[in-house]
Amino acid sequence: MTQQATAILKLLHFNEQDLIPAVIQEAKTKQVLTLCYMNREALIKSLEEGRVYVYRRSQRRLMLKGETSGHIQRIRQVLIDCEGKSLVFLVDQHVAACHAGYVSCYFRQVKRDGSIATLGRRAFDPKKVYRAT
């Protein structure tokens, strides 16, 4: 384990499922791309490789963000909140972060009248990237 990983792990408080939430944000624009969860293994691997790994709760497995699409996230900076209960990763996003094809998973805006607006356009067609296996 790297010195960086050892230092960070000493500051963190994982939840009862041994997970910690991590906000993924584009380094240049500061746009929030997604919220994910990491276990210790995902965090250590992310720090060692410089690419974001997450723990897929639905599949109960470690996953490289972008392993299917190729839309990886290169880590520029890691931030820890004041209580050590969450992380922010500033990344360089390749293509898009969202499985629905948008750059950010936060592409829907709630208007004052209660209507929902879609922000931006799809960066890719998810049907072409995530073919049924």
**Domain limits of the chain?**
3-127
Cα 13 from Cα 31, distance rounded (Å): 26
pTM score, whole prediction: 0.89
CATH code of the domain made up of 3-127: 3.10.20.810
Which residues sit opposite 91 in a β-bridge? 26, 75
Averaged pLDDT, 58-75:
94
Instruction: Quickly tell me which residue has 């929030």 as its tokens.
Output: 32
Residue 2: is its pLDDT beyond 90?
Answer: no
Residue 88: is its pLDDT beyond 50?
Answer: yes
Q: How confident is the model at residue 132 (pLDDT cuts 50, 70, 90)?
A: low
Residue of 55 and 120 predicted with greater confidence: 55
Averaged pLDDT, 6-14:
94
53-56 and 108-110 strand pairing: unpaired
Residue 105: is its pLDDT beyond 60?
Answer: yes
Cα 51 from Cα 74, distance rounded (Å): 5
Q: How confident is the model at residue 133 (pLDDT cuts 50, 70, 90)?
A: very low
Q: Residue 58 in 3-state DSSP? A: coil
Residue 125: is its pLDDT beyond 60?
Answer: yes
